[in-house]
Amino acid sequence: MLEKINMYIDGKSVVSQSEQWLDVTNPANQEVLYQVPMATHNEVELAVSSAKTAFETWKDVPVPVRARMVLQYQHLLKKHHDEIAEILAEETGKTFEDAKGDVWRGIEVAEHAAGVASMMMGEYVENVANGIDTYSVIQPLGVCVGITPFNFPAMIPLWMFPLAVVCGNTFVLKPSEQDPKTPNRLAELFYEAGFPRDVLQVIHGGKDQVNQLLNHEDVQAISFVGSVGVGEHIYKTGTDNLKRVQAFTGAKNHLVVMPDANKNQVINGIVGAACGAAGQRCMGISVCVMVGDAKDWQTDLKAAMEKLKPNYWKNEDSAYGPLINAQAKTRVEGLITQGVADGATLLLDGRDYKVEGYENGNFVGPTLFTDVTVDMSIYHNEIFGPVLCLMYADTLEEAIKLINDNPYGNGTSIFTNSGAAARKFQHEIKVGQVGINIPIPVPLPFFSFTGWRKSFYGDQHAYGKQAVKFYTETKTVTSRWFESDIPDGGAPNLSINLR
């Protein structure tokens, strides 16, 4: 009998009463691993209601106490690091090293959350007027919600609930239904760390459950990572319902190669950034812009990509794993076919890729296009597979214009040995995260994840100081203390004068 994935509601491990269950399959061979529920309406209601009730006591727990719990949590995450990575690799198909990286980047955010006290300090000005002081305090919002994607089932939930909870909020997590066991394990360790069990609720589901949360009057803030279309819907629906929303959506990340760069470093960086995690990264590189004579390196780049051999995660020689499901494979292969029809030159074709022993897996081989133009579907769509598009520019200015004309602004990089070129690029580019001789410029948690333009909807970004602002509100207090009461017969002062 297939295992049924549980939920965590009202402090209890719950087997859903839903009549709708989805199969969760191993993307390397289509084996059904277990089943995940689409939570019922009442189960979602109970999760939010429980979180709302828990908030009334959790918000008054001293900040240092909450921080120490997060410190214990990150200790448990480290202790169980490889165990979580194995669950993650089996669900997603990621290589074990890639899965461990997914877990570790989440642990780093939990470490940062443990130092929240200094980020929740208010401000104080004494004697703004005679005998009057003004100060601000930072307070939590209430019930917060996280809606997370399949491609980073450990890292992205850990972007959200440790910071939200340490700020004094309670949290409802709705992870991807395609890899639910990883976030469930994160929740189990969270409770083991000593947190009250109703501070974090975990429900499973799809569109209906998300819409219920978006429209729920007791939900104060929503964090989302996923596709553009869904992100736009979540941002609009959430803000229409007067909720605070941060929505991280699609990307089309460009890497610029200047002819003075180190060729070997460039090629190694491009190959890993384009094909790592089977290209299923919102910060992966899908377009490489070769400037000037750097275009002559495409033969070496092709040779390096040809060496990549995707396989099952337990195979130590695997360069990367399968796509998450058969629909994703069909979509990526369809875009490759459309790229050929649009006139791009296909130097490496990853369609119909077969891995011995895993012939039914969702594998796509490394794919390389040249002669790509901005009007082609492979350029203006986020492919989300191991597909790299080569484009050419005569000058750095031309490359910058190409990137700035693209509607997305998640990440970009430049490889060069010229400080002047790097300075010009970082200053003029209209993208939120910039790498210089680094292919995937994801910042560490004491900064924030800062996508721009169509890659992000909202005001405050994920983790770092901006996340604390997102999960809290500022209250300003103006106070005055009298040494004695108004004397008998004295008239009350009906004016307010702060001069």
User: What is d(CA 312, CA 322) in angstroms, rounded to the nearest whole number?
Assistant: 8
3-state secondary structure 353-415: CCCCCCCCCCCCCCEEEECCCCCCHHHHCCCCCCEEEEEEECCHHHHHHHHHHCCEECEEEEE
Place of tokens 């790498």: 435
Least Cα distance to 198 among 218, 223, 174, 172 occurs for 172
Tokens standing for residue 2: 């297939």
Phi, psi torsion values for 81, nearest 5 degrees: -50, -55
Tokens standing for residue 296: 């002559």
391 beta partners: 289
Q: How far is CA 105 from the centre of its chain?
A: 11
Q: For residue 413, is it left (φ>0), alpha (ψ between -120 and 50) or beta?
A: beta
Query: Which residue type sits at 228?
Result: V
Least Cα distance to 160 among 142, 177, 172 occurs for 172
Q: How far is CA 90 from the centre of its chain?
A: 20
Catalytic residues: 282
